[in-house]
Amino acid sequence: MTKFGWQLTASNILPAENLSTIHIILNEPGDRTKVQSILRREGYTVQSFEDGEVLLKSVSLSPPDVILIGIAPPGVGSLEILSRIRHLRADSMIILLADSARGDFSYRAMRLGAHDVILEPNPPERLNTAIQNALKTKELIQETKKLKNELRLRGDFDNIAGTSPGVCLVMDDLRRLSESEIPVIFRGEAGTGKELAARALHYNSRRADDPFYTINCAVLRRESAFDDVFAPILRNSLKRDRRMDSQRLRSNGRTLFLKEIDRLEPALCGKLMEHLGPADKFHIGRFGPPLDIRIFLSVRTGAQNPADEGNPIGELMGRLDPWEVHIPPLRERGGDIEHLANFFLSGIRSETHRPDLHITREALRVLSAYAWPGNIRELKKVIRQASHTSEAPAIDVMDLVSIPYE
């Protein structure tokens, strides 16, 4: 029996599907020995420590998957160990063992970043459940980091392909704006890549590790629409801001992309203005706290570019005074057609496992002569369709079924 009233037997702990590493520092030597023996029999790689400083040194060199800490480990207090591990930025999941009389201890431990606190008394399965949940949570965190890294790679400036003068001007603007916090409006025809440019700017700014929210203003129709779409942002923001003050101060903020703001219903434009408080701080809800949100907007332009004056967004533009970035249409980027076609082909080659897939010079000539009313979005669609049409490694003119040619 441990001091927590558990009879630790092999049946209490379910076998681990994969080898995971666990570090243990408990109050009593007998507890450390028993827990270590049980976990090792279940396939875990376990290391027990008799001193907090030795544990911290080991974590700094090679963080384990899970750390079990008793309420009064030798050498260093449990809360100090927890705090110092978090300062090491180790990704270990920490479980603390405590007695039921220490409710305040449990609260402080969770505030410091403990994954779980196991209080006495508990059924024998409680330790197993805590370890399994910790490992699953760590797996989800790693997957989230992987996905965020993929998003960052997609938002890399290198994904804005092209060397034409118009694209070079866009890139110059984006690099300057990545060091700034001012609002930005992206103007361009449908399919030119306004959202791609907005994401690239976000993921190359100091906000890269924080959320990028997109709201398609063209589909909002009810006055309560903003309350509905802002609700997830508010929930996420409140969760992030419940951290310790020191962590909250390091949180750089979020980016909100208001897509196709020019197609927003006039009545809703006034509703949106209500969310802008003093000093143009963004609020979720009329009485909500100001949030650190950088605002991006996009306007779809056509043959005639509507002036903001007299337009429902005119007052909003005057309030935000955003920097304007013009995304050129593809017909003004003739020299980029080959670059873009090969850029899209590189992705298709990876997806379809066809490393020899390429496009002929004659097909490129046809693509370069086309006017591209659908811009980059249309070019990407044409290349993808042609890759499916062509059974040969080379995409030729006959494979460009949706492009008129002579």
- We report the CATH number of the domain holding residue 393 as 1.10.8.60
pLDDT score recorded for residue 149:
67
Q: Are residues 31 and 110 in the same domain?
A: yes
What DSSP designation does 47 have?
E
- Alpha-carbon distance of 65 to 24, in angstroms, equals 11
Q: What is the pLDDT along the chain (406 residues), one digit of tens a residue?
A: 345 454 444 444 444 445 789 999 888 888 888 888 878 887 888 998 988 889 999 999 999 999 988 877 878 888 888 888 888 877 899 998 877 666 677 778 888 888 888 877 655 577 788 888 999 998 888 887 777 666 665 656 777 888 899 999 999 999 999 999 999 999 999 999 999 999 999 989 988 888 898 989 888 877 667 777 776 676 666 555 444 443 443 344 789 999 999 888 887 887 787 777 665 566 665 556 677 889 999 999 863 444 455 565 777 888 888 999 999 999 999 789 999 999 999 989 988 899 999 999 999 999 999 999 999 999 999 999 999 988 899 999 999 987 876 5
Q: How far is CA 35 from CA 41, 51, 284, 306, in A?
A: 10, 17, 48, 71
Q: Are residues 276 and 370 in the same domain?
A: no
- Alpha-carbon distance of 337 to 330, in angstroms, equals 8
DSSP string covering 332-401? G-GGGHHHHHHHHHHHHHHHHT-TT-EE-HHHHHHHHHS--TTHHHHHHHHHHHHHHH--SSEE-GGG-T
Query: Domain boundary at 98, 130, 148, which?
Result: 148
What DSSP designation does 289 have?
P
Q: Are residues 85 and 104 in the same domain?
A: yes
Q: Are residues 128 and 27 in the same domain?
A: yes
Nearest to 4 by CA among 113, 88, 122, 116: 122
- Alpha-carbon distance of 60 to 401, in angstroms, equals 59
Q: Are residues 347 and 324 in the same domain?
A: no
Q: Are residues 189 and 259 in the same domain?
A: yes
Q: How many domains does the chain have?
A: 3
Place of tokens 């809703």: 268
Strand order in the sheet with 66-69: 45-48, 21-25, 66-69, 93-99, 116-120
Q: Are residues 45 and 14 in the same domain?
A: yes
Domain containing residue 380: 332-399
Burial tier of 80 (Cβ tally within 10 Å: 0-12, 13-18, 19+) = middle
User: pLDDT digit string (tens) for 66-116?
Assistant: 998 887 787 888 888 888 888 887 789 999 887 766 667 777 888 888 888
DSSP string covering 239-286? HHHTS-HHHHHH---EEEEEETGGGS-HHHHHHHHTTB-GGG-EESST
